[in-house]
Structures are given as structure tokens and as C-alpha cells.
Structure 1
């Protein structure tokens, strides 16, 4: 057989990228332990963003802010695990994962979420904008946290992740304040929507509502949403503010 001809008849329009999602995580460990985990046999990610104040990062010989590529974007990294968004599941297949060194902890039922370093956020912004420019199929509502796609199972990147600030720079989704305020006034006057209506809004936006038929499952769903879109309060309790944020998001992106 002659060598395969890769040059003559090339499709230029009828294909697209596998990448549909950009997913952010925290590592819940220092730089050293994060590298060991993410280059070991169980989990991986496309990018790792260190914390320049981390002693183990400094001990490794680094001083300025770096971003490390651990898995080529064309490959499937193992960062999302069991995951769902919209009509897609197993999001490792269709996502780019970004792990951020942050020593969030969970002990005796209590989370501690340390702030992210400004240098980290600047690096994340630059990286994300680069990725989004190269993968136009990643729409704002497909820039997500691990907690969004693994409801009740994950909490990263946590409430200290600056979703709104990144949105203002062109990364991800956020609601319009005027629309949110209108819904908030309505709900304060008439009460929040029925749970069935709230679940329709969650599902329309993309969240997996399959486990929300129980009180615990619904609370986990609300908390996942709050971690992203109401980080001041992430207790899993649906109130007028949370409902208004949700309704304003759906109004904006899924009219």
C-alpha cells in the first residue's frame, strides 16, 4: 500500500474539538503533594497553577508564578471523575482541567477555604482566556467548578474562588444585577418558586438534579450552586437571594 496521503483532501469545516468544558479544581494540598498526586497512577490534570507562597514550591527552586502543563490538551486527563453537566456525563472526555494549589481542608464536618493568591488568579485568568480563545465551543456556562459537575461529592474550587472577578475579565458566566434584583423583589413579595420550578431552573442551567428528590440531595444541589454563584452563603438552604441569582442566570443565558 502507498503511504497515507495526509495532505490532499482535508476536511476544513465538518469537524470540531472534543473540548466543551473548562473545569477548575483546588488540590487540597501543597505544591509537593499536588505534584505527586497529579503525576501518580490515579489522577491527572491538564494544568497545575502553584501558589508562590507555598514553602514546598520555594523549596523546589521556583520563585515567580508558573503554570505547569501535566497532560497535553489533546489527551484525556483524569480530573473530573463521576461528573454530569446538561446532557453530558463523564466530563473527562470533553474537558480541560485546571488544578490550583490551595490547601483547603475538611475536618469533623467543617471546611476551611483559604484565599487564593493574587498571582495565582492573574495566571488563571491568562490561562483561561488563552484556552477560551482556542476553544470557542466553551461557552460561558461551560466554565465550571468541580463542585458544579459533581454535586454533593466535591466542593472545589470553593467559595474563595473569584468567579465574579473572572467573569468581569471574560471568563465564565454571571447574572446581571438588575435582573437579579427584580427577581429578588418579586420573591420577597410573593415567596420563592415551588421546588419543582426551582429544579427546572437548575436543570435548564445545566445542573444534575437526579438526586434532588430527597431533602439531602436538594440541599447538596443548592450548596453546589451557592459555592459558585452565592459564595457569601453556601449553607445549602434555598432562600430568595439564591433563587433570584438562579433565575437571573437562566434569564440571561437560556431565555
Structure 2
């Protein structure tokens, strides 16, 4: 594709050839945040703009806050891969993908610079306003592809985004002792845990068995909402944080969970 006019006024344009039509004329109702996970930003940007890679995103945010648009928002960028959220399995067709330059877990989980996070916030605010994206639909790649993906990682400052009006968040409950549930357990409490995770949007079958998939989804939840300890164990802190997130959503505020 030749140059196009950026949808976000603060972005410059570097077209990627990797995109297609949004299926059934879908409009974006979600924002998916990623880290690049590559040794440097230029290498990551080149890869997203290389036809051989078959991957892309709508936006790329450098460490110094520069924002590059690679794919027009009306087009379907190829950033989420095999993923699902709240029953939707074509996340690429209903989302805007934002790649954030950061070496991630392969690079030791470096912190995201303040100027970069501010640029991400401003970009999300702009996209969210133009497309009427609800706060709880600003998600990490690990949320929509648990186990398979771990970005943007447990060092991503979701709380800072929320303080600026981006995303859904409650302060995590303190980590303490008490009863917990883990891999191999079964019964009604596990079914209730799976139900809450599924109600929030995670792709998880409700079986009553604490299986590997349940552990992986729980780790994804912790990585986003209780990042101080990502262990896939359903302790009080994790369960209470999940419960308060659910009941803070208007559709569940009057429902007994």
C-alpha cells in the first residue's frame, strides 16, 4: 500500500503490506497492546513492515514516544494471531493493534519509559474516543491469547493507563495466606472461578477441573491485574481482585457473583 493519511494526528506513516479487509465490515471495538520482544525497535519495525513476516499492527510506539502508523484503522492488521475474547475469535477484525517497543521477557522485562507510556495513553485515548471503545476492551495480547503470549508483560503499567482514563482496573487485593486453589483440584469452587474468568472475557471452558488451561488463563489474568505474583494459583488476592473487577462493570454491578 502506498502512503496514507494517518488516522492519529500525532503519528507519522510507514506503510506495512500486511493487512486485509475487516471481516463482515467489522469496526474496532477493542485495543490490543503488545510489546515487540525484539532486540531493538528498528529491527521490530522493519519486521512488521516486511511482507515475509505476515505480521503487522496499526501503530508502533518507540521508546522516545514517537508514534508510527503502519496500517489504516479501517483495515485489518495482523497482530493478534489465534486469539479470543468474550466469544469473539477473530480479534484482528474487531481491534486496533499497538506494538510498543520493548524487549520484554527475552530482554529481562525492562521498564517502559514514561514518555513512551504517555504516548501510548494519548494514542489509546484518541482511538478510544473515535471508535467508542469501552475501558474493559483495552487488553493485552496475553489476555486474548493466554499461554501462547505473555506480552505486554507484568511490568506494563496498566494502573498508570487507568489513572489517565485508559482501560479497566482496580487495585489488587493484598497477597496473604489462606485457602487457595491450584492445578489438579476439582469441584464447585473451581467451576465458580472459571465462570468469573469467562464472564470477564477470558476464553475458558467451565469444567470444574483446575486444568493446565485454567492455570494459563489465571496467569494471564494475574499478569494484567495482579502482577506482583504471577503463579497461576487462585489465592484470595487473585479471586477477590477478579470479583471486584467484575462487579465494577455496569452489566454485573447488580448481579450476585
Q: TM-score, normalised by structure 1?
A: 0.79
Equivalence for 1:142 = 137
Q: Which of 222, 226, 235 is 2:222 aligned to?
A: 226
Residue of 43, 60, 68 corresponding to 1:33: 43
Distance 2:93 2:218 in 1: 26
- Give 2:204's aligned residue: 209
Q: Distance in 1 between matches of 2:180 and 2:78?
A: 42
Q: Whose Rg is larger?
A: 1
Question: How many angstroms does 1:219 deviate by?
Answer: 1.2
- In the alignment, structure 1 segments of 5+ residues that lack a partner are 1-15, 53-64
Task: State the shift of 1:112 in Å.
Answer: 2.6
Query: What's 2:32 paired with?
Result: 23
1:49 alignment partner, one of 61, 77, 100: 61
Corresponding position of 1:247: 243
Distance 1:68 1:215, change over 3 A: same
1:17 and 1:135 in contact (8 A); partners too: no
Cα distance in 2 between the residues matched to 1:40 and 1:27:
15
CA distance, structure 1, for counterparts of residue 74 and residue 63 of structure 2: 26
Q: How does 1:81-96 map to 2 (within 5 A)?
A: 81-96=81-96
Q: TM-score, normalised by structure 2?
A: 0.78
**Using a 3 Å threshold, how does the CA distance of structure 1 residues 191 and 44 change in structure 2: closer, same or farther?**
closer
Match of residue 6 from structure 1:
none
| SS of residue paired to 2:75 | coil
After superposing on structure 2, the runs of 4+ consecutive aligned residues of structure 1 that deviate more than 2 Å are 190-193, 210-215
CA distance in 1, matches of 2:228, 2:137: 22
- Over the residues paired in the alignment, what is the CA RMSD in angstroms? 2.4
- Note the alpha carbon deviations across 1:156-206, whole angstroms, 9 max, x for none: 0001111011111110001267xx68xx99x95x87781100111001100
State which of 95, 120, 125 in structure 2 corresponds to 1:124.
120
State the distance in 2 between where 1:31 and 1:85 align.
28
Corresponding residue for residue 113 of structure 1:
109
> How many pairs align?
217
